[in-house]
Amino acid sequence: MDGLTTRELLELMHVEDRNGIESVHAALEQIAKAVDQVAERLRSGGRLHYFGAGTSGRLAVLDAAECPATFGVAADLVQAHAAGDGEAEDDFGLGVRDAKHAGLSSLDAVIGVSASGRTAYVLAAVGEAREAGALVVGLSCAPGTPLGAAAAIAIEVDVGSEVIAGSTRLKAGTAQKVALNMISTGVFMRLGHTYRGRMVGVVTSNDKLRRRAGRMVRELTGCSSEMVETALRDAGGSAKVAILMLRFGIDADDARNRLSGASGDLAVALGERARR
């Protein structure tokens, strides 16, 4: 590899990244099980917790951080607990303490994220999760791991060797990011936090997102820009509430009550789907 040109090296890395993404395909059945069962826990009032260390922990933090802004869910609904690098990855006691501090219950779902499937911090945390009765999902990048054995649902994405041996921030990191994207997005789609492929739960915290919300409401109601702008203002920026206001000709309070009665599922509030 040292004899490759820079362009050849990048081509190799690109091919291996594509192989890493493709390897996720073999795990789709397990990922689907995780999505359905995590969604059921959250529907019953539970929370989703990630536990990871090193790169895996940072990817978990990233995924958890994106959920409130993307889907409009509470900031504490998806929580990531990351041990960092170095000796923290091997700190079994830290995993136990972090899991206990999280206050896990039988309503919760826990996803342990570890490329090797052998990280002591993660194994300790999922052990505590099992004791608490939480659903345990293991996401690793190797077959037959201790994490998979400890999990009710084992997602083992076998990515093969890395371009730089042992550097799991490469293919393994790519595959984990893809799998985490699928899990969180699938869960919140199942829970009705999207509608017709749109981010109707988006938090309108800046001009870009306010424009996006306005465009979504116009597309989904067929109303004029002026009507949409007024509805969004009265709805406090909530696209879901604005859509209900315009579709049913009701005020913001009635729309919020209708949405609350549907557990935030816009399709249910619109009468397009029965409550799950």
Give the Å distances, CA to CA, from 158 to 149, 170, 172.
Answer: 15, 13, 9
Strand partners, 156: 140
66 is catalytic: yes
- Tell me how far apart the alpha carbons of residues 157 and 131 are, in angstroms, rounded to a whole number: 26
Q: Which residues contact 126 (CB under 8 A, 6 or more apart)?
A: 51, 99, 110, 112, 136, 138, 147, 150, 151
Which position has the token pair 């996401």? 139
Of the residues 11, 29, 40, 66, only one is catalytic, namely 66
3 state DSSP class of 169: coil
Of the residues 89, 128, 156, 162, only one is catalytic, namely 89
- Tell me how far apart the alpha carbons of residues 236 and 267 are, in angstroms, rounded to a whole number: 20
- Tell me how far apart the alpha carbons of residues 252 and 175 are, in angstroms, rounded to a whole number: 42
φ, ψ for residue 3, nearest 5 deg: -90, 0
SS (H, E, C) 85-105: CHHHHHCHHHHHHHHHHCCCC
Inter-residue contact 174 to 160 (CB < 8 Å): no
272 is catalytic: no
Residue type, 110: V
Bridge-based pairing of strands 48-52 and 109-113 is parallel
Q: Which residues contact 167 (CB under 8 A, 6 or more apart)?
A: none
| Residues marked as catalytic | 66, 89
